[in-house]
Homo-oligomer: A and B are copies of this chain.
C-alpha cells in the first residue's frame, strides 16, 4: 500500500514543538493583557451560514476570499475574521450583554484564496472590539489602540518594537466632497490611496480617474501634509481636529510611537472613522502586523438596534510565522519544556520512581519519566539530554533503598545523591 502524504495542505501552518511554545508564549502574554484590561473572551463557531458571511450570491468571486462549501442543502463557510460572527452574536444576545461591551476573540480564521508567501488559508487572529448601543465616544478608539500597544509591548522580547499609524476615513470623505468627486470617482480614488505604497503610477492613476486638478490636490495632502487643508471646509476642519484630538488622547494614555499617516485606509469598506495600522520598528519590511478602526453599520444586518463599534485585529500566525521563517526569533529558550527527566533503572523501581515524579509535578516542576525501564542507562540519559532536561533524576535499587534520588545536573554533569525534598530545592534553584 502506498503511504499517505505527511505534509499538510498548502497554506496551512504546522509548527514544531519549540516554535509552538514560542507561539503559545506570545498568545498567552497578549491574552493576559486583555484580561487585565477587562475584555471578555468570546469563542464563536468557526463555521457560519454562507448568508451570514457574505451578502453576495456569486460564489466563484467570493470563494477567493471566503472558504465556502455546502453540506446537504446548507451553504456554509469558515469565518474569515472575527467581526461578522461578533455582529451576529451581539445582535442575538443584546439583553444578556452590558454596553459598552469590551470583548476579544482568539480564533482561527480562514481564507479561500490560493495561498501566497506570507498568506495562509488558516491562521490565528486576535480580534479586539468595543461595542456600544447608539453611541461610543472617540475615547474608545484610543482605548483600543492603547490596549493593542500594551499587547505588543508584552511580547517585545520576541517581536521587537511596534509603532502605530493613524488615518481617518472622515478626512478623505471630506476631501472628496471638497473636490466635488462623484461616488464612482471617490471609490476609485479611495482604492488608489489605499494602495499608494504598492503602485508606481499613483499620480497618473489619480489623474485618469478624477482629473489633473483634483489629483494635484490629493497629491498635496502627501506633499504638504493634511494640515495644509485647514480652513477649506467645515468637514475637513472637523476631520483634522478629530485626528489632533486622537493624538492627544493617545498621549494621555501613554502611547508612544504613534503618528498620523492619512494614507492609512484599511481595505475593508465597513470602517467609517479613525483607522489605524501597526508596523514593526525592528522589521520595517513586514507588512502591517495589525490594524483596525471605527465601524458604525455592521450589526445592522442582524438587528434594528444601532450598534457602533471600534475594533482591531492582530494576525498572530502571520506575524510570528513570518519572523520564524526568516530566523528572526531566537527559539533557544523554547527548546525544552522539561526541567527533570526521571530515569528508572528496572521495572522493580517503578513504584518509588512514580512517587518521585508525582512530587516533582506537584511542585509544578515540569517533569516526565522515561518508562521503558529495561533500556540501558546510556539510552535513558541520552533521552534526558535530547529533550533538554536541566536535570536527570535517576532511580535505581540504591535510591529505592535509601529513599533518595541520584540527581544529575545535565549542564555541568555533576551528580549527587540527595533526598527528594533536597532535590526539589536544588532544581528550583
Contacts and interface: CB of A to CB of B under 8 A. Distances in A.
Given A6-B302, A45-B9, A371-B140, A337 B38 contact: yes
Nearest to A138: B371
B46 A108 contact: yes
Given A5-B52, A37-B368, A12 B137 contact: no
B386 A98 contact: yes
Interface in A333-383: 337-338, 347, 350-351, 354-355, 358, 361, 364-374, 383
Nearest to A23: B43
Contacts of A40: 17, 20-21, 337
Given A91-B6, A98-B387, A47 B302 contact: no
A40 B302 CA distance: 42
Given A71-B69, A302-B6, A15 B37 contact: no
Given A3-B303, A350-B249, A366-B38, A100 B371 contact: yes
Copies assembled: 2
Interface string A124-154: 0000000010011101100100100010000
A6 B366 contact: no
A51 interface: yes
Given A9-B74, A23-B43, A371-B100, A354 B254 contact: yes
A3 B98 contact: no
Contacts of A5: 49, 51-52, 88, 302
A399 interface: no
Contact of A76 (B9, B97, B304, B372): B9
A24 B348 CA distance: 40
Interface residues of A, number: 97
A422 to B, nearest CB: 20
A108 to B, nearest CB: 6
A56 interface: no
A48 interface: yes
Contacts of A41: 17, 20-21, 24
A16 interface: yes
B337 A135 contact: no
B139 A350 contact: yes
Interface in A178-221: none
A414 interface: no
B36 A304 contact: no
Contact of A16 (B96, B146, B366): B96
Interface in A91-142: 91-93, 96-98, 100, 102-103, 108, 112, 121-122, 132, 135-137, 139-140
Contacts of A374: 137
Given A38-B338, A137-B371, A252-B354, 13 more contacts: A4-B301, A5-B51, A36-B364, A38-B368, A40-B337, A45-B122, A67-B71, A98-B387, A137-B372, A139-B373, A143-B371, A252-B351, A252-B355
